[in-house]
């Protein structure tokens, strides 16, 4: 079953991603966490940079592991730009338990997309992601939540639950489907193949194919 999704106007719910004012050197970036949130036993998991990043120069990143007095154990990722002989944080996220190395690509219109992927904590270990588009001045957040409201009603009350891992290289995803009687562990409704596109900084669902 193939379902085409009509365009829907949605409100962009963009979160703040501006980081703090600490300005480390590159050498310091590999030795100590940029002090933003993980204030208890923070350690540097990995660091790196992109050459010729959107906006010019290098875009550096630091992945952290540790804990905060407010939220407990978790992970974080901080992205930084060169600012004289030091680095200035420009983006950060601490929602995931662990983050992967960031990556960026050009979309079909040649606009750079920055992809930050991670995994939530707890027993579910669900995928988490943040997506940004470059607008010639800054990284603009893409709303990745609103597409769930575009999922059409399906036969037999089939539903998509949270934790869908989207391939932002191909703008598609594959997810199991749940029936009303299913527990979270055991979906029995087959599979849904999804396709997406970005419009006005919002990820839109454009197609759903159900395979029983």
pLDDT digits (tens, 9 = 90+) for 28-44: 999 999 999 999 999 99
Sorting pLDDT into bands at 50, 70 and 90, what band is 8?
A: very low
Instruction: Answer whether 0.75 is exceeded by the pTM.
Output: yes
- Cα(72)–Cα(74) distance, rounded to whole angstroms? 6
Two structure tokens written together for 177: 């489907």
Q: What pLDDT shows up at residue 123?
A: 63
**Is the torsion defined by CA of 89, 94, 65, 38 positive or negative?**
positive
Give the pLDDT confidence of 71-106 residue by residue, as tens digits: 888 999 999 999 999 999 999 999 999 999 999 999
Does the pLDDT value for residue 205 go beyond 70?
A: yes
Residue with tokens 């575009």: 150
Mean pLDDT of 119-146: 89
Looking at every residue in the chain, the average pLDDT score rounds to 87
Two structure tokens written together for 89: 């944080």
Mean pLDDT of 58-68: 96
| Distance linking the first and last C-alpha atoms of the chain | 9
> How many angstroms from the chain centroid is the CA of residue 105?
14
């Amino acid at each position: 079953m193939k379902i085409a999704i009509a365009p829907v106007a949605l409100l962009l719910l963009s979160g703040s991603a501006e980081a703090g004012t600490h300005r480390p050197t590159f050498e310091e970036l590999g030795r100590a966490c940029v002090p933003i949130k993980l204030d208890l036993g923070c350690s540097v998991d990995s660091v790196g940079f992109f050459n010729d990043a959107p906006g010019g120069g290098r875009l550096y990143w630091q992945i952290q592991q540790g804990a905060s007095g407010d939220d407990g154990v978790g992970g974080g990722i901080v992205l930084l730009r060169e600012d004289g002989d030091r680095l200035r944080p420009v983006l950060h996220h601490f929602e995931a338990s662990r983050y992967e190395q960031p990556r960026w690509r050009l979309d079909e219109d040649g606009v750079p997309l920055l992809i930050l992927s991670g995994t939530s904590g707890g027993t579910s270990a669900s995928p988490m992601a943040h997506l940004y588009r470059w607008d010639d001045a800054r990284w603009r957040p893409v709303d990745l939540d609103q597409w769930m409201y575009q999922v059409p009603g399906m036969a037999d009350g089939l539903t998509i639950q949270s934790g869908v891992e989207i391939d932002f290289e191909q703008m598609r995803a594959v997810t199991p489907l749940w029936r009303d009687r299913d527990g979270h562990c055991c979906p029995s409704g087959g599979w849904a193949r999804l396709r997406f596109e970005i419009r006005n900084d919002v990820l839109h669902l454009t197609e759903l194919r159900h395979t029983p």
